[in-house]
Amino acid sequence: MSKWRIAAGSAVVLLIGAFVAVKFFPIQIAAAIDKVRNPIAPTQTVTWEKGPTIPPAGERPPNIILIVADDLGINDLTSTGTGVANGLVPTPNIDALAKEGAQFSTGYAGNATCSPSRAALMTGRYPARFGFEFTAVPKAFARNLGAPVEGRLHQPIYHADREAEMPPMENMGVPEDQITIAELLKGKGYRTLHVGKWHLGEAAKMRPEAQGFDESLGIMFGAGKFLPDNHPDVVNAKLEFDPIDRFLWIYGTDAVQKNGGQRFHVGEYMTDYYTHQAVAAIEANANRPFFLYLAYNAPHTPLQAKREDFDALAGIKDHNTRVYGAMIRSLDRGVGEVVAALKKNGLDENTIIVFTSDNGGAWYVGLPGINQPYRGWKATFFEGGIRVPYLMRWPSKISAGQKITMPAHHLDFYGTAAAIAGAKVPGDRAMDTVNLLPFVTGTPQLASRTLFWRSGAYRVVRQGDWKLQVAGNPNKAWLYNLATDPTERKNLAEAEPDRVAAMKAMLQAHDAEMPKPLWPALVEDAIRIDVHLNAPWTPDQEYVYWAN
């Protein structure tokens, strides 16, 4: 190769590097300021407050454990799909929750992105009822997502004029007047414990310990690293095509905090750390009833695998898929260790475990099969974006191997946990939760159910087997009969105008009950329904703009 070609190639690389550096310089500055304002201490030993040394006399209330994965695709588990890489990553421990208990074949997330879904789980209400319509993100993140991207047919839209309406990031959360499930259970004598992701407000009045949790250990924002980038035990997969990934590699840390204290490095792979802390919390509270909310941040990006898990999947040739699969392997191992801790401490029979994900798999990961056979991704209301695993295990109450066809929703965890604890669901406000326990212990299932989702101008209603999606951009309606078309292939909107009109009226009536969002959506982005972010853009691809 001639010297001028080498020089020209080097110049191009330098120009690209300079462009990336300039584009992401504001984020780097923001990250540096954050680390100065909120420094990270070295690894610390965490002590969970110990309960009684002997069990109380008489019958003890059941323990309740909610385990939530982050951006887990319905096809990532071998109990709800084929598993990663067509089954090369089995998930035996999570599968066992279904085999030894009940599996809802149609489990729904509260929203198609993380924050509102978690708000639904914690409150038993549609988050839009109290203005929590959009996921909380920093302005720098929204600006980054709203920047034009070369080669795209449908560009992101950034609403700079709305910045003045944005509250501080730490105040974007569940308002303090909402009664969380932790507050409800604490009022019934439960020790309430949170491990992992929160993303429901960072201000003092919105943090877990102010919203009913006795003890909280984890991350307050949406995502973090699993180990430092250059750690010898980590294998990274950086997604150069994804602006979200670039943001997280710059801004993310492998740090947690306990009860609002100073952040500190965890000292091990994050998924394992959360598992080990959950086990420690179980052991500390073995002699009193507890509610444990274990919110993993796996397999959310950044894609980082523990080396031993990566090495165990040598049969997967694609690097990104292998790293992603290794993250699922660690998640599954963690669930197994939690169940083992219950058995070791004699708590297994008297503990209900509910396992789910906050939403479907993400389009920006660049892996095509994680939501198969369903269309759509995280940030769409197609089934791939909102259909999630919904597993319940309680050996003394729930018969093994049940498959429940009635749709279950994140909202329903609230009513179910309240019933188990003998607590009354608040009666001074509209509640949207259903107690699922009767339906897994022998009561006939509901013949029909109406459910709603919304994010800005994109709104959805499912009534019985019929599901209508209405979008503002593009101005379009999608109508499907999920009984005959569960993967949403045949749009019946034109063929069923009367049904569309009736279901739109239902959406309008539901919307009339909702207040103005607590903060506006700064960015809207076109999410292609059938292909991931790194696929080429073509004019025939269906898309919907997601507001956030």
Model confidence at 432, in pLDDT bands (50, 70, 90)?
A: very high
Q: How do residues 252-308 score in pLDDT, each as one tens digit?
A: 999 999 999 999 999 999 999 999 999 999 999 999 999 999 999 999 999 999 999
For residue 211, the model assigns a pLDDT of: 98
Model confidence at 8, in pLDDT bands (50, 70, 90)?
A: very low
Q: Tell me: pLDDT of 15 over 60.
A: no
Q: How do residues 478-526 score in pLDDT, each as one tens digit?
A: 999 999 999 999 999 999 999 999 999 999 999 999 999 999 999 999 9
Q: How far apart are CA 487 and CA 45, in angstroms?
A: 47
Q: Tell me: pLDDT of 7 over 70.
A: no
For residue 50, the model assigns a pLDDT of: 97
For residue 24, the model assigns a pLDDT of: 55
- Quick one: angle between helices 319-344 and 92-99, nearest 10? 50
- Nearest 5 degrees, angle CA 29-CA 34-CA 35? 100
| Contact in structure between 60 and 350 (CB atoms under 8 Å) | yes
- Cβ burial 305-339 (10 Å sphere, 16+ → b, else e): bbeebbebbeebeeebbbbbbbbbbbbbbbbbebb
Q: Tell me: pLDDT of 399 over 90.
A: yes
Portion of the chain with pLDDT greater than 70, in percent: 93
Mean local confidence (pLDDT), 213-231: 94
DSSP state letter for 112? S
Better-scored residue on pLDDT, 38 or 342: 342
Q: Taking all residues of the chain, what is their mean pLDDT, rounded to a whole number?
A: 93
Mean local confidence (pLDDT), 161-165: 95
Most distant CA pair in the chain: distance in Å?
85
Model confidence at 36, in pLDDT bands (50, 70, 90)?
A: low
Q: How far apart are CA 204 and CA 201, in angstroms?
A: 8
Mean local confidence (pLDDT), 233-244: 96
- Cβ burial 418-451 (10 Å sphere, 16+ → b, else e): bbbbebebbeeeebbbbbbbebbeeeeeeeebeb
Q: Tell me: pLDDT of 21 over 70.
A: no
Q: Nearest to residue 547, comparing CAs of 151, 72, 152, 162? A: 162
What does 22-43 look like in DSSP terms, one character per residue?
HHHHHHHHHHHHHHHHS-EEPP
| Contact in structure between 172 and 136 (CB atoms under 8 Å) | yes
For residue 2, the model assigns a pLDDT of: 47
Q: Nearest to residue 128, comparing CAs of 112, 113, 116, 136? A: 116
For residue 14, the model assigns a pLDDT of: 41
Q: How do residues 70-121 score in pLDDT, each as one tens digit?
A: 999 999 999 999 999 999 999 999 999 999 999 999 999 999 999 999 999 9
What does 81-96 look like in DSSP terms, one character per residue?
SS-HHHHTB--HHHHH
Q: Tell me: pLDDT of 4 over 70.
A: no
- pTM given for the model: 0.94
Per-residue tokens: 310: 């990566």
> Which of 33-47, 320-334, 386-400, 476-490 bottoms out in mean pLDDT, i.e. has the lowest?
33-47
Model confidence at 18, in pLDDT bands (50, 70, 90)?
A: very low
For residue 17, the model assigns a pLDDT of: 43
Mean local confidence (pLDDT), 541-546: 98
Q: How do residues 305-321 score in pLDDT, each as one tens digit?
A: 999 999 999 999 999 99
> Which of 22-26, 102-106, 459-463 bottoms out in mean pLDDT, i.e. has the lowest?
22-26
For residue 129, the model assigns a pLDDT of: 97
Q: Where are the domains of the chain?
A: 24-136+175-445
Better-scored residue on pLDDT, 305 or 140: 305
| Contact in structure between 74 and 375 (CB atoms under 8 Å) | no
Q: How far apart are CA 202 and CA 260, in angstroms?
A: 9
Mean local confidence (pLDDT), 159-175: 95
For residue 148, the model assigns a pLDDT of: 92
Q: Which fold has domain 24-136+175-445?
A: Alkaline Phosphatase, subunit A (3.40.720)
Q: Is 170 exposed, middle or buried (0-12, 13-18, 19+ CB in 10 A)?
A: middle
